[in-house]
Amino acid sequence: MRFSFAPLAALLVIAAACSDRTPTPGGTDPGATPATPGGTPGALVVGNQPRMERLALRVAVAMQDPAFRARVRTALNASPFREHKVQFQRLLAASGGAFGHELARLNREADSSVDAEARATRPLEMYFPVAAQRASWTGDTNVLVATAERDHDRPVAFDIHGRRQLLSADAPPATPVLAIEPVETDFDHAPPAARVCNVDECGPGGGYLAPPAGLYMTYAHFTSTFEGWLKGNPEFEVHILGQEGTTDSLTSYQCAGEKAGAPYYFDQNQLDWTGSVMLFTQAQLDAYRGQHPNQNFRIVVWEDDDTACGIRTDADRFTQFENQLQAAYATLTGAKDTVSGLVRTVKGASTILNLISKAYSWITTQDDLVGNAVQDSVIGQYYPGANWIVKGENSITNGWLKLEMK
């Protein structure tokens, strides 16, 4: 039997025509105009957004089928990954392609059509990004399937009848939203809760060794999650940036975050975090000072939107940001460890290194730059329980940290 793509094409036409009709409760702006693929009415369609929308539409239409909804719910509940995410293309291929076959059958397509679309699209993950909706959805038809290629874009959503609508970029609708979006999760490795310590971290009995001496963060507050709601929980990372070889550029010497191994692991999903996470060991500090005796380091916070612990940023924008910060605070925007009496501390220090390594310069997929940590006494700004201030672009205060040597 020969299958036709016509039913899907017809659904797309109907969806565009219906986008300004009866909205899903809490889901669209009243009176919204029909949207073009890409997230903004009238916007130029670029990247993977059109393919992502077609895949989201297929899933939404298939959700009319009770057995398919049950299959989706089972796959999500069984996921060991953060927020019960599943890798979309792998799910299609699982169990001999059973999920992909059902998706194609319910859309009256050939399996090969769905498979080709999925293969042509960047790796995707599927999950409910809003925790309350993830907990409350029972597998019923009260669900939207949404997608957005870039963080902070207005998500494009479909209901089970294929009606297309734009959601708010700032807040989720009341209707549970199943997101299909570019992968942030490392699906090739076990999540942190299941991770076993490696040789350098383990003692004779297999447990973690006592944390080494060095620079620690014990408290963090940020003024925003810097993450659109469709992207779920934020992924804050703290990077120690220092001189790259003998160049005039900065490179990351150490990353601390939810994808980093112990003792650099921490997972902050709210505006406030309290704990103890290593940022840079004393051995790393000594080695850096030995290699770069005249260069201090920077402590920079990002909200990760791409490769975990891999900086993706606009190099020119970063340089402009650091230049503005140095002009405001007399170049004391770096850090160094020092000994005062018998106490080892970390304090603000001069640095003129503003360029980011070209290896980190990505224009099309950027992490959110939260800011550069500057000692509170340099800025003259103080918060209870903190001693370093995170300054973002235009010298806006985006958070504050407690840093200490242990």
The two most distant CA atoms of the chain are separated, in Å, by 83
101 belongs to a structural domain: yes
Q: Which two tokens stand for residue 61?
A: 């239409």
Q: Same domain, yes or no, for 217 and 340?
A: yes
Cα 381 vs. chain centroid, distance in angstroms?
29
- Of the three residues 138, 167, 182, the one that is the final residue of a domain is 182
Q: Same domain, yes or no, for 171 and 284?
A: no
Q: Same domain, yes or no, for 14 and 97?
A: yes
The whole domain housing 330 covers: 205-405
Q: Same domain, yes or no, for 177 and 285?
A: no
187 belongs to a structural domain: no
Backbone CA torsion sign across 172, 178, 182, 187? positive
The torsion angle over the Cα atoms of residues 75, 80, 82 and 85, rounded to 10 degrees, is -20
**What is the three-class DSSP state of 377?**
helix
* pLDDT at residue 118, as a whole number: 94
Within 10 angstroms of residue 327's Cβ, the number of other Cβ atoms is 11
- Of the three residues 115, 147, 182, the one that is the final residue of a domain is 182
Nearest Cα to Cα of residue 230 among 114, 107, 56, 6: 56
- Of the three residues 117, 149, 182, the one that is the final residue of a domain is 182
198 belongs to a structural domain: no
End-to-end C-alpha distance for the chain, whole angstroms: 70
Q: Same domain, yes or no, for 153 and 251?
A: no
- Separation between Cα atoms, residue 279 and residue 402, nearest integer Å: 12
* pLDDT at residue 45, as a whole number: 36
64 belongs to a structural domain: yes
Contact 267, 195 (CB under 8 A): no
pTM of the model: 0.63
Q: Same domain, yes or no, for 59 and 144?
A: yes
Q: Same domain, yes or no, for 347 and 304?
A: yes
Q: Same domain, yes or no, for 226 and 368?
A: yes
- Separation between Cα atoms, residue 100 and residue 103, nearest integer Å: 5
Within 10 angstroms of residue 97's Cβ, the number of other Cβ atoms is 15
389 belongs to a structural domain: yes
- Separation between Cα atoms, residue 299 and residue 250, nearest integer Å: 11
Q: Which two tokens stand for residue 41?
A: 């009415």
Task: Residue count of the chain, please give it.
Answer: 406
Q: Same domain, yes or no, for 287 and 161?
A: no
Q: Same domain, yes or no, for 296 and 380?
A: yes
194 belongs to a structural domain: no
Q: Same domain, yes or no, for 46 and 12?
A: yes
196 belongs to a structural domain: no
Residue by residue, pLDDT tens for the chain (406 residues) are 333 434 444 444 444 444 333 333 333 333 333 333 333 333 333 468 999 999 999 999 999 999 999 999 999 998 988 889 999 999 999 888 999 999 999 999 999 999 999 999 999 999 999 989 999 999 999 999 999 988 778 999 999 999 999 999 888 999 999 999 998 888 887 655 444 444 444 544 445 556 789 999 999 999 988 877 787 778 899 999 999 898 888 888 999 988 787 889 888 888 899 999 999 999 999 999 999 988 999 999 988 766 667 777 777 888 888 888 888 888 788 888 886 555 667 778 778 777 777 666 554 455 678 999 999 999 999 999 999 999 999 899 999 999 999 9
99 belongs to a structural domain: yes
The total of structural domains in the chain comes to 2
Q: Same domain, yes or no, for 45 and 133?
A: yes
